[in-house]
């Protein structure tokens, strides 16, 4: 696939936020995003490998937008939040955004869309409308779908056997999953990887997701979103 690098965003510390788009026009786009939380290296590693494969293969023909790492400042220091300590997945202008949080790690910011990383993301989605967003995280293995993408979750489940859920078990105000389905009619699949441990390496996490991700991108499953 041929990708072009779009105009980058800038983090709080003026670090470049890279974004790449397949070189084809489309009304709707399929977003692949990792590194919303900077301490979730597993998702970043998986997307890095997927993106490398996409650039080498001719088997995929989808209007993709790829953000390898959204929270570049947090990623550099292995921090969930950005340089303001804000959780970018609680800072989007969803209808249910609130300025309170039970734990500091869920800090939503002073106001919705107060953080430059999310301003960049929203402007990008305004220009290149999302049809579906696959946001790759790491916590415990699950496929959390918001909006009409149960079929995508179930497709991946056939390969990695991660639990398919419509909720992570607690409220996520200001998250991408709360924001995009209502504002862009774009479902969000929050693809949670397991965390690395003494028993599980990054390469092993990639190995258990490689076949499913590649198969999904080569299949017709995602074409209804464009």
> Rounded to 10 degrees, what is the CA torsion of 47, 125, 132, 143?
50
pLDDT at 102: 87
> Could you tell me the two tokens for 35?
């590194």
- pLDDT, residue 170, reads 87
Instruction: Note the pLDDT of residue 123.
Output: 98
CA nearest 92: which of 189, 188, 191, 178? 178
Each residue's pLDDT tens digit in the chain (226 positions)? 999 999 999 999 999 999 999 998 999 999 999 999 999 999 999 999 999 999 999 999 999 999 999 999 999 999 999 999 999 999 999 999 999 998 999 999 999 999 999 999 999 999 999 999 999 999 999 999 999 999 999 999 999 999 999 998 889 999 999 999 999 999 999 999 999 998 999 999 999 999 999 999 999 999 999 9
Question: E strands within the chain?
Answer: 3-5, 9-10, 16-17, 20-22, 29-34, 64-67, 130-139, 142-146, 163-165, 188-194
Pairing relationship of beta strands 29-34 and 142-146 according to DSSP bridges: unpaired
**CB 212, CB 160: distance < 8 Å:** yes
**Are the C-beta atoms of residues 70 and 88 closer than 8 Å to each other?**
yes
**Overall pTM > 0.85:** yes
Per domain, the residue ranges of the chain are 3-220
How confident is the model at residue 10, as a pLDDT?
A: 98
User: 56 CB contacts (<8 Å, ≥6 apart)?
Assistant: none
* Angle at CA of residue 129, ends 158 and 150, nearest 5°: 25
What Å distances lie between residue 103 and 86, 90, 107, 175, 195, CA to CA? 12, 12, 7, 15, 21
> Judging by DSSP bridges, how do beta strands 188-194 and 130-139 pair with one another?
parallel
Which fold does the domain 3-220 belong to in CATH? Aminopeptidase (3.40.630)
Structure tokens at 222: 């995602």
Residues 117 and 17: beta-carbon distance below 8 Å: yes
**pLDDT score, position 24:** 87
């Amino acid at each position: 696939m041929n990708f072009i690098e779009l105009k980058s965003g800038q983090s709080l510390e003026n670090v470049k936020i890279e974004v790449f788009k397949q070189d084809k026009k489309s009304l709707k786009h399929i977003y692949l995003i990792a590194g919303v939380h900077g301490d979730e290296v597993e998702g970043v590693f998986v997307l890095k490998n997927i993106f490398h494969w996409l650039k080498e293969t001719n088997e995929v023909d989808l209007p993709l937008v790829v953000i390898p790492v959204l929270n570049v400042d947090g990623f550099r220091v292995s921090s969930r939040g950005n340089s303001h300590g804000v959780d970018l997945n609680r800072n989007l202008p969803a209808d249910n955004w609130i300025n309170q949080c039970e734990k500091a790690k869920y800090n939503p910011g002073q106001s919705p869309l107060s953080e430059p990383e999310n301003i960049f993301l929203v402007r990008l989605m305004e220009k290149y409308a999302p049809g579906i967003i696959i946001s790759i995280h790491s916590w415990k293995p699950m496929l959390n779908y918001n909006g009409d993408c149960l079929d995508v979750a179930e497709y991946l489940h056939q390969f990695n056997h991660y639990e398919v859920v419509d909720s992570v078990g607690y409220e996520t105000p200001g998250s991408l999953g709360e924001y995009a389905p209502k504002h862009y009619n774009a479902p969000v699949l929050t693809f949670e990887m397991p965390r690395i441990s003494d028993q599980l390496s990054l390469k092993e996490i990639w190995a258990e997701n490689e076949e499913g991700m590649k198969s999904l991108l080569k299949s017709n499953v995602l074409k209804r979103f464009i």
